[in-house]
Amino acid sequence: MNTVNYEYVKELLDRTEYVYIDTAALMDITEMNLLIQKYGSLFAENKCKIIVLPSVCLELVRHLGNPDKSEKAMQVLEMFKKNPDIFDVENGSLDEADIYKAFADKEIYKTMSEERSYHSQLLITNDRRLSEDIFGLNELQSMRGFPIAVCFINRFGELHRCECVKQAFKAKMEKDLFTGREDIIIDKLSIKQDNENGIYKYNQEEISGTGENTKLKIGLGVLAGFFMGYGTSKYGKSIINSLKTIM
């Protein structure tokens, strides 16, 4: 085990209230299973679950009807079932129109923007554009908020800071070199570089804020109804039967 990375993720979860993930990261199923193996105990210790927003679920459902993506999408749903202590799957009533028009990136941005005023958050994504947009919320001047962290999953299932986070640190470090400061403040965190290990040490300033997400289950009946349209195809029956075993 990479102990340096494990300690980084431990500190990250210690100071994070809400953790979100996008569809693309979930579809990297091999890396996701490795992530659960590495950090599952940390999520349990912190009573911190990975929140799967409704539009992310809808995109997964849409992938079930795609021959090129259906197998991985089904594996993701099975992963949810096997790890209820890791994932908080949110969803309400679904209909066919919602499934077709679902746009997870938009909902992730909207949700994290709204929650920023009340909670510290983390987004897990391997999407460069989305990571830059979400991390950019830290720079909003019109309202104060709690820090937002952004991480990607590497091929070993490890969480690492996205490139936009590293660039922000470098820019602030260069700016503060003229003042002779040793500590650099980023998102209410005092960060000191550990040259020996090539990582940064975080000392959290006191923050507050509590809250719980409403936990909702995917509506099997609606999903099955949606896929009745595939009943005459070679994928339809297998999708519906698989959903029944998962949900």
pLDDT number for residue 169: 54
Q: Which range (5-9, 22-26, 51-55, 88-92) has the least confidence?
A: 88-92
Judging by beta carbons within 10 Å of its beta carbon (0-12, 13-18, 19+), is residue 176 exposed, middle or buried? Answer: middle
pLDDT number for residue 117: 92
107 vs 205, residue with greater confidence: 107
Q: What is the pLDDT of residues 186-198, one digit of tens each?
A: 443 434 444 344 4
pTM over 0.75: no
3-163+209-246 has which fold? Rossmann fold (3.40.50)
Own/partner long-range contacts of 62-66 (Cβ < 8 Å, ≥24 apart) = 62/99, 62/100, 62/102, 63/23, 63/27, 64/227, 64/239, 64/243, 65/227, 65/230, 65/235, 65/239
